[in-house]
Structure 1
Amino acid sequence: MFATASGQTFPIWSNAKTMNKSNFTCENETDIKEYQHYTYAVIYTVILVPGLISNVLALWVFHAYVKETKKAVIFMIHLAIADLLQVLSLPWRIYYYLNKSWPFGHALCMLCFYLKYVNMYASVYFLVCISVRRCLLIIHPLQYNAAKRRVDRRCCAVVWFIVFIGCLPFPLLRKGPSAPNTCFSELPMVNLTLGSGLTLVTVAELAGFLLPLAVVLTCTWLTAGSLREKNGVLQDAGEKRKALKMVLSCACVFLVCFVPYHVTFPLDFLAKSNRVDCTFSSAVQRFHPITLCLASLNSCLDPVMYYFTTDEFKRRLSRPELVESFHMQRRFSCTATEESALPSEQQD
């Protein structure tokens, strides 16, 4: 049997001679495991601090200042929430890969394992939502105006529901640990036929990668095309360029973070099926963990996208605005404290 990085296992149909040859010529499994642990620990540690600070700051800005701003702010808020939840699961993974032991119980292991993929695919779909929203605001400004926030909130609820349901196979296909204190990708898998495994891989690639990628690229193309139109309806060239900058940023984050992982996902399937040579198999098993870490890098890149594509976000993070906001919050807190200290008859 073998397991893919996303959680499927498949039987390997090969004779004993082939297996013995593979074991003799292929890279030692312990060396691969050590390399993967080191890679995960280092890259997740690099992502943790900037991802945590930037997403907390992004949510603070959105909550305090940008609630009234137009253009997909609700989707940005939910994208920041997904990124923050993903970052908050990294310390548990870093501890495991550094200590090679999981003392926190099987339930917490499965929760961290599940949330990793929930938040990754939630980020994928919220990037799609931002791209679609900006594209529609430019192409059909009269039909898709900023007043339809209730529709955006319903879309966010639908996205979370679909992602929570769609990612259930990741924990459900895992069994209890075969060795003490093991977690994440090293948990044993339930047995699946080759056909079932191929079906799950295909559905995951289509729903989690190819369809969102097609939508993001289509929105980028349509938004870029709108710059050449001279319809003059509510949207000037500057507004269209801002929208194009946002959609292009979503496409860049998608291409950098999620394309490499989903390209190596089927390659990892081939490598672990023992149907390729050992050089190819070793290369994939060494490169695939890097692409999985890149999928978490979006938690650092998304706040950069907010800053460089949203004028209001950039302005609110300027030094005078930050100083003013802290003074206002202190004034409000002092006023609330004084009012609470007054006798009830004076408050009336």
Structure 2
Amino acid sequence: MKNNFSQTCTDATGDFQATLYAATYILLFIPGLLANGVALLVLCRFVIKKHKAVIFMINLAAADFAHVLSLPLRMYYYINHHWPFGSFLCQFCFYLKYLNMYASICFLTCISIQRYLFLRYPFKAKDWKRRYDAALSVAIWIVVGAACLPLPILRSPDSSNSTNNTCFADLGVQQLTMGASIALVVVAELSGFVVPLTVIIFCTWKMRQSLQTSDAAVQHANEKQKAWQMILVCAAVFFICFTPYHVNFPIFMMVKQNAITNCAIYQSTLHFHSISLCLASLNCCLDPILYYFMTSEFKERIFQQTGAAIWHRLASHDSSTGVISAGEMGEGGQQNKSVLLGYLWTLHPHRFEGTGGTGTDSKER
């Protein structure tokens, strides 16, 4: 009776889930791949040399990048409704989804705590070593990786009534005892949502209070403002991406364990579960906002690389226009350079202060 009820209601939501997942992953793949790939390159190669509090950002970008790499397989399945890659790869992609979610939650929380503590205790922050962040990151990966292991096991192909050509949302859920279901929900909600949410709200609130004090120097006030903006972005990403899933998760477990037998509630819960998982995947495109807008070194490095690329294209264009006189070449090159410097000055005028309006003055001096 329960199986027939579950099958009927699930069939009614299958097309909606497949269309939503496929569309979402197609939209997220290219931006997520480019944003996190560039972020990892810039953070690991340039920013880490100048910025002490960047280890958590690197780990956050790595978690997002790993999830993005699994999206093509998800797109293939939801478009073709067929999984030819075997059970292990299915479970591994399923595992990466939740590993990314809870690792991102942990690293967003760590970024918020670190920003708050560094601004609250600046002298102690100077003694903080980068290896402490690295050790804490390793511990997070170990704990989160172990905690997420039961999730793909609960959704293994062996628990589904269908063939092994199914994966992801079409997998069945193993029936648990009432005690095991309650324990799973309580642990996941407390450790993966309630505690991080409380910490992020506390850091946001304390930073807001700190900004309201008017006895700080201008430079320190600017640092506080930047820290407040980063914590605010962490809170926004957390609320947008992870709150809907964890609000719906207890009801989803009740539905999957057949504790709720109303078909309307069943279908509504599965619909919202699909939407919440898509919002959770959105974090791979929202997290790079932290790196670009809130880390000055990251922004400057992107600016430098972009300017160099534009200058290289202009130089290549000049060299390909044919044989011209040395005077004409110098005049054309100077015009291109002036146009480029004028454009870049509008984006970052502080980088050209004191140069006299040209890029050659600093060299001449």
TM-score (norm 2): 0.78
Partner of 1:212: 196
Amino acid paired to 1:313 = F
Amino acid paired to 2:211 = L
1:201–1:266 contact (8 Å) kept in structure 2 = yes
Partner of 1:106: 87
CA distance in 1, matches of 2:127, 2:200: 20
Q: Deviations over 1:278-301 (max 9, x none)?
A: 333222211210110110100000
Partner of 2:78: 97
CA distance in 1, matches of 2:202, 2:219: 20
* CA positional deviation for 1:162: 0.8
Amino acid paired to 1:280 = I
Residues 289-308 of structure 1: pairs in structure 2 closer than 5 A: 289-308=274-293
Identity fraction in percent: 45
Cα distance change, pair 266–116 in 1 and its aligned pair in 2 (3 A)? same
2:47–2:298 contact (8 Å) kept in structure 1 = yes
- Asked if 1:270 corresponds to 2:254, the answer is yes
Residues 115-134 of structure 1: pairs in structure 2 closer than 5 A: 115-134=96-115
Q: Deviations over 1:64-104 (max 9, x none)?
A: 32012335211111100000001111111111111111100
* CA positional deviation for 1:228: 2.9
* CA positional deviation for 1:142: 1.2
Partner of 2:298: 313
CA distance in 2, matches of 1:293, 1:147: 37
2:58 to 77, 85, 88: 77
2:87–2:164 contact (8 Å) kept in structure 1 = no
Partner of 1:331: none
Partner of 1:198: 182
Cα distance change, pair 155–28 in 1 and its aligned pair in 2 (3 A)? closer
Cα distance change, pair 191–33 in 1 and its aligned pair in 2 (3 A)? same
Residues 156-235 of structure 1: pairs in structure 2 closer than 5 A: 156-177=137-158, 178=161, 179-229=163-213, 232=216
CA RMSD of aligned residues (A): 2.5
Q: Deviations over 1:309-341 (max 9, x none)?
A: 1222222212x443448999xxxxxxxxxxxxx
Pick which of 254-263 and 140-149 moved more: 140-149
Q: Secondary structure, in 3 states, of the residue corresponding to 1:138?
A: helix
Q: Deviations over 1:218-250 (max 9, x none)?
A: 111111112234565997111100100000110
Larger fraction in helix: 2
Amino acid paired to 2:110 = C
Q: Deviations over 1:183-232 (max 9, x none)?
A: 12333343321111111011111111111111111111111112234565
- Asked if 1:250 corresponds to 2:234, the answer is yes
Q: Secondary structure, in 3 states, of the residue corresponding to 1:269?
A: helix
Q: Secondary structure, in 3 states, of the residue corresponding to 1:163?
A: helix
Q: Deviations over 1:92-128 (max 9, x none)?
A: 1111111111100111111111111111111110001
Amino acid paired to 2:183 = T
Amino acid paired to 1:277 = N
Query: Unaligned 5+ residue runs, structure 1?
Result: 1-15, 329-348
Partner of 2:342: none
CA distance in 1, matches of 2:243, 2:52: 26
1:83–1:119 contact (8 Å) kept in structure 2 = yes
Cα distance change, pair 238–263 in 1 and its aligned pair in 2 (3 A)? same
TM-score (norm 1): 0.81
Cα distance change, pair 164–278 in 1 and its aligned pair in 2 (3 A)? same
* CA positional deviation for 1:62: 0.9
Query: Unaligned 5+ residue runs, structure 2?
Result: 313-365
Partner of 1:56: 37
* CA positional deviation for 1:160: 0.5
CA distance in 2, matches of 1:141, 1:233: 13
Cα distance change, pair 175–284 in 1 and its aligned pair in 2 (3 A)? closer
CA distance in 2, matches of 1:167, 1:297: 20
CA distance in 2, matches of 1:242, 1:94: 38
Partner of 2:353: none
Partner of 2:273: 288
